[in-house]
């Protein structure tokens, strides 16, 4: 399976412009099975979502994701700040496939240090999606710091092959991001796709840190720091399963 990770400079509070820029990046990297955008890719990380979060659970950026999934015959994934129909705000990670199927995960760990918990309603469950034979655990930014929540299983409904972390992880803490991506790959014997942004927003500066990490904790490829860029890599399920069979760590987990 071929996956493409998009490192972006998100335009603050401008979904239409961010859709346009994302479309350019995606179309420049054809023939992937999955394209992954950062956290709150359509607006930037808005801890004060009123007037910025997109309205409704069929917002324009989700409709754009559906259109792009059909156009590219690939899944499109990334989180959007939405004002849901029940009146709550959600940091919602959508995973959209070409057949129109939409699965989503609501961020379970709001970033309290930045005040996200004051406005956003957290999710309460893990979400694993199956796409073209690979199983993906959906995670958002601050979730990376909580390994018990993302713990893999050797088999059953809790088992997965890769974790996707979409993020707005700022430059001062970027070494924590890079270290924890490797840790999650090693302890869960899985691929880790870490997608972060560059540029600035009203609160932070971002240098990137988008990485494709293999189950051994090796960074196979990373986007250059401080550059809008993409990377495309293969998830090799045969190699992953052979590694797990040879060294069955997950079977001994607590």
Catalytic residue annotation: 39, 107, 141
Q: Give every CB contact of residue 166 below 8 A, 6+ residues apart in sequence.
A: 36, 37, 38, 39, 41, 77, 78, 79, 93, 139, 140, 141, 195
Give the residue ranges of DSSP H helices in 76-171: none
- Backbone φ and ψ for 55, nearest 5 degrees, come out as -90, 130
Distance between CA atoms of 207 and 226, rounded to whole angstroms? 5
CA dihedral (188, 104, 74, 233) in degrees, to 10, reads: -30
**Residue whose entry in the numeric block shows the structure tokens 């709001």:** 110
Residues in the chain: 254
- If we measure between CA atoms, which residue out of 80, 69, 20 comes closest to residue 44? 80
């Amino acid at each position: 399976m071929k996956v493409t990770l998009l490192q972006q400079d998100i335009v603050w509070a401008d979904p239409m412009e961010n859709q346009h820029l994302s479309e350019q990046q995606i179309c420049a990297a054809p023939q992937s099975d999955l394209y992954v955008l950062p956290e709150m890719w359509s607006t930037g990380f808005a801890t004060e979502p009123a007037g910025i979060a997109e309205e409704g659970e069929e917002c324009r950026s989700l409709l754009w994701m559906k259109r792009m999934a059909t156009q590219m015959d690939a899944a499109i994934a990334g989180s959007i700040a939405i004002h849901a129909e029940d009146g709550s705000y959600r940091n919602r990670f959508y995973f959209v496939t070409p057949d129109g199927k939409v699965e989503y995960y609501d961020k379970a760990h709001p970033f309290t240090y930045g005040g996200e918990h004051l406005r956003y309603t957290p999710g309460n469950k893990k979400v694993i999606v199956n796409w073209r034979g690979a199983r993906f655990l959906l995670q958002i930014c601050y979730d990376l710091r909580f390994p018990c929540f993302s713990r893999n299983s050797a088999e059953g409904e809790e088992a997965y092959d890769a974790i996707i972390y979409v993020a707005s992880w700022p430059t001062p803490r970027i070494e924590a991001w890079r270290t924890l991506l490797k840790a999650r790959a090693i302890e869960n014997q899985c691929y880790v796709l870490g997608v972060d942004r560059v540029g600035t927003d009203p609160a932070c500066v971002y240098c990137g840190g988008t990485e494709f990490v293999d189950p051994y904790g090796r960074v196979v490829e990373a986007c250059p720091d401080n550059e809008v860029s993409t990377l495309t890599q293969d998830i090799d399920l045969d190699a992953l399963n052979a590694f797990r069979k040879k060294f069955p760590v997950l079977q001994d987990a607590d």
